[in-house]
A and B are shown apart, each in its own frame.
With several copies, the nearest count.
Chain A
Amino acid sequence: MDECVRLEDVGKQFDGQWVFRHVSLTLPQRQTTAIVGESGCGKTTLLQLINGVVSVDEGVLSVLNAPIPETGLPAFRRKIGYAVQGAGLFPHMTVQQNVDLMARLEGWPESKIRNRVRRLFELMGLDSALGTRYPYQLSGGQQQRVGLCRAMMLEPPLLLLDEPFSAIDPITREEIYGHFEVLQQQESVSALLVTHDLREAVRLAQFLVFMGSGQILQHGETATVIESPASESIRRLIETQL
């Protein structure tokens, strides 16, 4: 199986304190890997490393079969759709502008942009009338879904999703799950999904990573992990949450 992201012995510190060290992890291509873990254990940091927004302090990192390039980072990043935690929409752009900015910069024809935006809005259950609003005029869940649209706009081969459904109600979320699965097959994307919802992880991901503070506790195919948890605490978590 092809690999999409590989970390070998990676470490990252802030202000001299290690967030994690010796993290080794391989994400398979065209599969979704879910990361579940304690708040503050470094999940967001991990996504930022893969995207190249923060740099690795230790170890080797390869993304899309190459180390993170020294030059041409913008082009590299456009192949990675990143839905940031908490939406992170540009307040000075309308919803439409937030979503289609990158496509315009890529020079997509107008019709292609329109179709893609319409499609994404439908998938996310967003009213197309929201397109002309500014982010501050949206509810939290609407903002989060706009952020998702923005991440997926360029049809990137790799998606980094940081708690992307946390502010969305269960019914809408269920719909999006369905669309997401279809999308994954059609567009054959690889995805890395950070979530606190174990049911969501099991539902969407073929692979599952349990992260503890500063290290990886367990990593494997979802079914395997669920059946044989590596530790008591993981077992308890699986029992209470599923």
Chain B
Amino acid sequence: MKRLVVTLALFGWLPLNAGEPIVVASKNFTESYLLGEIIAQRLEQAGMEVDRRFGLGGTLICFEALLAGEIDVYVEYSGTLERTILKLGQRTSILELNERLLSRGLSLLSPLGFNNTYAIAVRKEVAEEFSLERISQLTDYRDLRVVVSHEFLEREDGWPGMRRVYGFDWIPEGIEHGLAYQAMADGSIDITDAYSTDGELQRYDLTVLADDKAFFPTYLAMPLIRDDLSPRAQAAIEDLAGTLDDSSMASLNASVVFEGADFASAATNHLRSIGFDVADGRSNTFDDLIRNTQRHLWLTAIALLTATVVGIVLALAVFQVTWISNAVLYVAGLLQTIPSIALLALMIPIFGIGMLPAVVALFLYSLLPIVRNSVTALVTVDPVLRRVGKAMGLTRYDELRYVYVPLAMPAILAGVRTAAVISIGTATLAAFIGAGGLGDPIVTGLALNDTSLILQGAIPAAVLAIATELMFEGIERVLVPRHLKVLEQPR
């Protein structure tokens, strides 16, 4: 097995240490995509190879994936670390957060600069008119129309807390957050709550008041890394420290949400604006294609190899006792009836996300054709030859090796080939649990209704299937005894 791993690594399939790309992840919302892309491009500019695993489904999936070494870096917020992940009291210092993370093999790099927390936004004209700059000034301007979101109105870290800290004695009306911006725009509201990096702040030209009594919890964005990340990579990411203040983050968000920029070019623009000479855009479709195909190949190859070995050994172990081999086939069949999405979902609590659960699922799906074909072929080996083998004095093992397996080989290989093709098809679903591969563009393409993206996955998958068939033809040429290949056509 060791030798196998090394061999595969030589072909660039296995992420061994040497030359292994850095896996940059993001959560599935705009800001996180942008931050991921910025880090990725910075690393690439510094000459490192990057594997993007963007859009993972939530905080915990990102964190677990980082712990498991599935990913190397993503951007997390200090408040989220404090409350959601580490479940600590409020106002934990970044030093303390880092200490706790260090004991788990992770490490925080310096904050990128901005703090994505609640903010109090004021229409620019109003702010200018009254020279509003700090929240505490609000006590002096009671007749300004303050309307806040329902959530803010009720959360302890929203209005109720703020009221106590700043000493406000009135209760504003509530509004739908999405509507508040428009209400500000048309002047029907003067002041509302916001997130400090919302793109809307730019779009509607709003002024954010300073939280001068430091009431709001801090949600500083910081790259969270595995501490075995190479010093070179760490240094490159560290170069980004403090380069993104609230307003530039907000305008980056706005450029994507309102101006339709894509993540890659928005990130490129930002990096250039802060002096990093990154290459144009990203979107090296060809690289994507190669990486996805490699990942796909790797997923199916591992699953198939394991299934082949396990399947054949299982078949050899049980084929001589009908009821046991039936039982094995039933179980393999039951596994097959679990719909692939459900099976992948079932894997998550056991194996987390990433390649492992995908490989396990593919392995389970591959078993049935291999075991069934092997058992059938072994059982139907000519009884005369079986008896001859015994009579010659072959041991149990040698019988299997020299009589049963070679005679059953064509059917066994047929089972493996069927399993291989099914695996290549099913592996496209692995994208759902962050295992990557050719499913990535297909799934994204299906969601965005983008045919060219779908084809970026579908065509290589088809090519892979054909290539697999060709490979197996080669294998068959070697493994299938010559007498079975005589398809002479007597008239």
Contact = CB atoms under 8 A, between A and B. Distances in A.
B388 A90 contact: yes
Contact of A77 (B384, B391, B403, B482): B391
A223 interface: no
Interface in A111-139: 134-136
Interface string B388-419: 11111111001000110011000000000000
A58 to B, nearest CB: 17
Interface stretch (A4-12, A49-57, A163-171, A201-209): A49-57
B481 interface: yes
Contacts of B490: 53-54
B383 A77 contact: no
Contacts of B392: 77-78, 82, 101-102, 150
Nearest to B384: A88
Contacts of B391: 48, 51, 53, 77, 82, 84
Nearest to B480: A92
A76 interface: yes
A101 B407 CA distance: 16
Interface in A57-83: 73-78, 80, 82
A111 B407 CA distance: 29
A91 to B, nearest CB: 5
B486 interface: yes
B387 A74 contact: no
B407 A136 contact: no
Nearest to A78: B393
A92 B393 contact: no
A1 interface: no
Contacts of A88: 384-385, 388
A150 B384 CA distance: 16
B99 to A, nearest CB: 62
A182 interface: no
Contacts of B484: 91-92
B393 A75 contact: yes
B491 interface: yes
A92 B407 contact: yes
Nearest to A135: B483
Contact of A91 (B393, B394, B398, B483): B483
Nearest to B409: A92
A92 B406 CA distance: 7
Given A77-B390, A88-B388, A93 B395 contact: no
A8 B491 CA distance: 21
A242 interface: no
Nearest to A154: B393
A93 B390 contact: no
Contacts of A73: 390, 393, 491
A80 B392 CA distance: 8
A55 to B, nearest CB: 7
Contacts of A48: 391
Contacts of A150: 392
Given A51-B391, A102-B393, 6 more contacts: A48-B391, A73-B390, A82-B391, A88-B388, A134-B482, A136-B486
Interface of B: 382-385, 387-395, 398, 402-403, 406-407, 481-484, 486, 490-491
22 contacts: A53-B387, A74-B394, A77-B390, A77-B391, A78-B392, A82-B391, A90-B385, A90-B389, A90-B403, A91-B382, A91-B385, A91-B481, A91-B484, A92-B481, A93-B406, A93-B481, A101-B402, A105-B398, A134-B481, A136-B384, A136-B483, A150-B392
